[in-house]
Copies of this chain bind each other. A is one copy, B any other.
Amino acid sequence: MNMKSEHIPKATIGRLAVYIQVLENLLRDGNEVISSERLARACSVNSSQIRKDLAYFGEFGVRGVGYYVQELITSIKQSLGIDRVWKCALIGVGNMGTALLRHHDFEKRGFKICAAFDCDPDKIGLEFEGMEIVCPTHLKEQAPELNLEIGIIATPPDRAQRAANHLVDANIRGIINFAPSRINVPKHIPVEYVDFFDHLYSIAFQITLGND
């Protein structure tokens, strides 16, 4: 891949995800070409920002014309490393875990939950969305067999660290944590925290602020 390996801001990655989303909707509506200016408006960002974000990874546009939508989507996906399927292990088959298993966009977006783990004896052995729920102690043996690369933690908060330990022990390469607690893992393993209440807090704050 042709890219200048300067350090890439995390905010850029977040925006690239937005660009993909908007570009896919544009493509669906029949747009073949788009300028950074129009894309910028659709994403509520500055057009220079877009050009600069893309410039980290290469030159994808045509001067005087713009960007070919399909081509740009492909290029961004390549840049992010999501031009392939990532195999995931889910730990914690409660409310959140179940919802994730049922979320059919996963494959569409390049991720596949290939194994589900839970330490609850009542759940172990149950079939779920075509997958058998297994005790997390089996992670270490199953991870290499199934080529699991990303761990998804969806346990209660007090179990998250234990889940993380299992994942680390199984040589998983990255973790996304839906449990509302922080975890400690070796620093070469990237961790992302997901908690949509953050966004609700933000909304509440913005509303409150606007009031006074």
Contacts and interface: CB of A to CB of B under 8 A. Distances in A.
Nearest to A172: B207
Interface in A1-44: 8, 10, 13-14, 16-18, 21-22, 25, 42-44
A203 interface: yes
A202 B10 contact: yes
A25 B150 CA distance: 26
A175 B95 CA distance: 23
A200 interface: yes
Contacts of A44: 182
Copies in the complex: 2
6 contacts: A8-B209, A17-B202, A25-B181, A25-B182, A95-B99, A110-B204
Contacts of A176: 196, 199-200, 203
Contacts of A21: 180-182, 195
Given A80-B205, A178-B196, 4 more contacts: A13-B201, A81-B204, A150-B203, A192-B199
A203 B192 contact: yes
Nearest to A198: B17
Interface of A: 8, 10, 13-14, 16-18, 21-22, 25, 42-44, 79-82, 86, 95-96, 98-99, 102-105, 109-111, 149-150, 157, 173-176, 178, 180-182, 188, 190, 192-210
Contacts of A180: 21, 105
A194 B197 CA distance: 10
Contacts of A104: 95
A179 B21 CA distance: 10
Contacts of A202: 10, 13-14, 17, 190, 192
Nearest to A110: B204
A97 to B, nearest CB: 10
